[in-house]
Amino acid sequence: MEAPPGRGPRARSGAPPEPARTMEELQTRLQETLAELTHRELSNFRHLLKTVDEEPRVSPLQLELAGGSAAGLARLLAQHYYLPAAPRVLAQVLRRLPRADLLQRWQSPSAGDRAVIPRKILKRSHDCVDSELDYYDLSGRRKAFLMCVKKNRPGAHRDITLMKEWLGQCQFEQTSCIDPEKMEFLEQITLFRDGLNEIKEEIGCCLIILMSHGEKGFIKSKDGDKISLEDIFEMFNNKNCPALQEKPKIFIIQACRGERRDNGVETDDEPMDSDDISEKKRLPTFSDYFIIYPTQADHVALRHPRNGSVMIEAMNDVFNQYGNKWHIADFFTKVNNRVVHTDFHLGEDPIKVSLVMESTLTKFVYF
């Protein structure tokens, strides 16, 4: 419902009516918020908008014709709900997505019940990077390889489910390799690498997820054979995988890196299981790598037999709360905060772990 033209500061002669300027500003701010949503979240937003109990409602036909983008949705919200309803409607839907992290832009402690168009909030995201050279262009194809050994790793099935959902939300094409023996794994990851080099279209990013038992510098296959992590990293370097030159190569390793256990300084409950790297720097043979480990060198990693790996579960929780808002290093810093403050036991002993990030990235990564 539009406000009457005379409201707001006195209009100068010849100036456009204040409400028109306000609606335009509202639409801009709505679009800035909606642009934070993934493609799937935008689709869910449209679905949830149909259930909002606020008049007048946007019709399903209008959503179908004009609501397919952040800009289109922002225009519909601004035109059909305006102030004060638009912020209320937006807040209702964001809470149910859930993307409550975006609500801070629409909350003003001094505003009471008044509708407020938020100022653009400065944040660390690709929207405010000074130059387009400061972040990787991920508009090309995103390719992911997911290997997981489930044998003798209770809870690994949930890790697979959570990782596949996350990859889908981040728009990765996925290749899965579940419970492989050593030669099968090496064959499949080699085929994956060779396939990257044969792709004619631009590649935006490559992500390798390895979830298994392990020890320092190695991950293990289903049959227990050791596979050198350094050899895997080398497969995707600038010499062996030219398709990924100056493209981000992200490795998520969920495996033990040794037998040591850190009991922490203080703690408290629950049984788990247990997860190395290389990087080099010319273009360096090894550049644009980002490798995340679930624990310190020589230490066990942690996996609950029912809930799955501590790191994977924390990744899922942080992504559900913040989505794609953060640069990957910031994202995993938040994940690490969850992991570090997670309490559990191995038998009677309290165990603490901290994620380890190793990076030769030259730009920011935003999925």
Which residues are bridge partners to 350 per DSSP? Answer: 345
For residue 113, give the nearest of 138, 137, 91 by alpha carbon. Answer: 91
> H-helix or E-strand containing 218?
strand 218-220
Which helix (DSSP H) or strand (DSSP E) does residue 168 occupy? Answer: helix 156-169
Spot the catalytic one: 80, 213, 304, 327.
213
Query: How do 226-228 and 218-220 pair as beta strands?
Result: antiparallel
Q: Is 97 helix (H, G, I), strand (E, B) or coil?
A: coil
Beta pairing class for 214-215 and 218-220? antiparallel
Do 208 and 255 form a contact (C-beta atoms < 8 A)? no
> In this structure, what are the phi and psi dihedrals at residue 243, rounded to the nearest 5 degrees?
-60, -20
Enter the tokens of residue 336. 């690490």
Kindly report the number of other CB atoms within 10 A of residue 125's CB atom.
17
**Annotated catalytic residue 213:** yes
- What DSSP string describes 325-362? -S-HHHHHHHHHHHHHT---EETTEE-----EEEE--S
* Catalytic-labelled residue, pool 177, 205, 256, 304: 256
Contact status, residue 301 vs residue 212, Cβ threshold 8 Å: no
Sign of the C-alpha dihedral computed for residues 208, 211, 215 and 220 taken in this order: negative
Cα–Cα distances in angstroms (integers) from residue 91 to residues 49, 298, 350, 353, in the given order: 11, 46, 41, 36
Phi/psi for 358 (5° steps) reads: -125, 135
Report how far residue 60's alpha carbon sits from residue 34's, in angstroms, rounded to the nearest whole number. 19
What is the distance in angstroms between the CA of the first residue and the CA of the last residue of the chain? 37
With a CB cutoff of 8 Å and minimum separation 6, the contacts of 167 are 144, 146, 174, 207
Q: Is 256 a catalytic residue?
A: yes
Question: How far is Cα 58 from Cα 79, in angstroms, rounded to an integer?
Answer: 9
Active centre residues (catalytic): 213, 256
